[in-house]
Homo-oligomer: A and B are copies of this chain.
Amino acid sequence: MHYVHGYSDRETTRLADQATTLEELLLSDTGYPSGSCVLEAGCGVGAQTLPLARRNPGATITAVDLSAVSLELARRRVLDAGLTGVAFRQADLRQLPYPDEIFDHVFVCFVLEHVDDVERVLQELRRVSRPGGSITVIEGDHGSFLFHPRTHASLHAWNCLVQAQAALGGDSLIGRRLFPLLRDAGFRVSTVSPRVLYADARTPEMLDAFARKIITAMVEGIRDIVLRNGLSDPGRFDEGLADLRCLASSPDSTLSYVFFKAVASR
């Protein structure tokens, strides 16, 4: 599995900024009972691990990821925040080093969009879930990103992100598919709840975070992959990037994006 956004320092910062902006929107209604065992599948650099552990001090969280480097960053962050109760382990989500039915709850956030065999990963997550346990999946859907003002170049650069992710075997339009994916893996879906992040010039800090730290940073981060795969040329791509960057400070800008949060039971 290739992670489209890479593993640079800049990328680590982007993920932390993104998590702070989104925490209230995405995690405020996720609470695990004291004493429960939670698997965070694909914790990356710990962007969600931190708020998850902070919000659920009584739960035991096991955070796994394929990348040892990311895991080390996540471990350090959680430690620096003075949080205990999180165990880290390097693992492939297609083949987890755990017996059947041992986790009460599974939590997956911004992971399945990068996976090239999502059905197999979900089946594996079901295998390690206790009957009656829950799975929470949060994914974006890049088709939902609306912005104003638009230019041909900025639309092109944004579309390159969707194509780059597809070229690596992922699906950045996965948000809309959570219901059939979870059902087909044998889960009973209880809710699929779309959540919109919206910003305009009335909230300049949020507009900046959304446009610059999330959107532009994400598109900047795939520049090499886009050019290497011939999805664009430097002139056109960089023009689009510049136009996207302008969204952060234009008085006319509006941005919106839909995240899908699904909760299902085993």
A interface residues (Cβ-Cβ under 8 A, vs B): 141, 143-144, 146-148, 173, 175-180, 189, 192-196, 198, 200-202, 251-252, 254, 256, 258
Quick one: given A180-B252, A202-B179, A254-B176, are A146 and B144 in contact (CB under 8 Å)? yes
Nearest Cβ in chain B — how far from A176, in angstroms? 5
Nearest Cβ in chain B — how far from A203, in angstroms? 10
Contact (Cβ within 8 A) A198 B194: yes
Alpha-carbon distance between A147 and B258 when the two chains are bound, in angstroms: 13
A144-B258, A180-B254 known; 5 new pairs, CB 8 Å cut-off, are A176-B254, A177-B254, A192-B198, A194-B196, A196-B196
Alpha-carbon distance between A194 and B175 when the two chains are bound, in angstroms: 17
Nearest Cβ in chain B — how far from A146, in angstroms? 5
Contact (Cβ within 8 A) A202 B180: no
Contact (Cβ within 8 A) B254 A179: yes
Alpha-carbon distance between A32 and B195 when the two chains are bound, in angstroms: 28
Integer count of this chain's copies in the complex = 2
User: What residues of chain B lie closer than 8 Å to A201, measured between beta carbons?
Assistant: 179
Alpha-carbon distance between A151 and B202 when the two chains are bound, in angstroms: 38
Alpha-carbon distance between A174 and B1 when the two chains are bound, in angstroms: 39
Closest A-B pairs by Cβ, 8 of them:
A194-B196, A179-B200, A180-B252, A146-B176, A148-B176, A194-B198, A176-B254, A179-B254
Q: Which residue of A189, A195, A256 has the most chain B CB atoms within 10 A of its CB atom?
A: A256
Alpha-carbon distance between A147 and B196 when the two chains are bound, in angstroms: 16
Nearest Cβ in chain B — how far from A17, in angstroms? 22
Chain B minimum-CB-distance residue to A198: B194
Alpha-carbon distance between A146 and B192 when the two chains are bound, in angstroms: 14
User: What residues of chain B lie closer than 8 Å to A196, measured between beta carbons?
Assistant: 194-196, 258
Alpha-carbon distance between A179 and B195 when the two chains are bound, in angstroms: 19
User: What residues of chain B lie closer than 8 Å to A192, measured between beta carbons?
Assistant: 198, 200, 254
Contact (Cβ within 8 A) B148 A194: no
Nearest Cβ in chain B — how far from A244, in angstroms? 15
Alpha-carbon distance between A173 and B196 when the two chains are bound, in angstroms: 17
Chain B minimum-CB-distance residue to A201: B179
Alpha-carbon distance between A193 and B202 when the two chains are bound, in angstroms: 13
Contact (Cβ within 8 A) B202 A189: yes
Alpha-carbon distance between A211 and B60 when the two chains are bound, in angstroms: 43
Nearest Cβ in chain B — how far from A199, in angstroms? 9
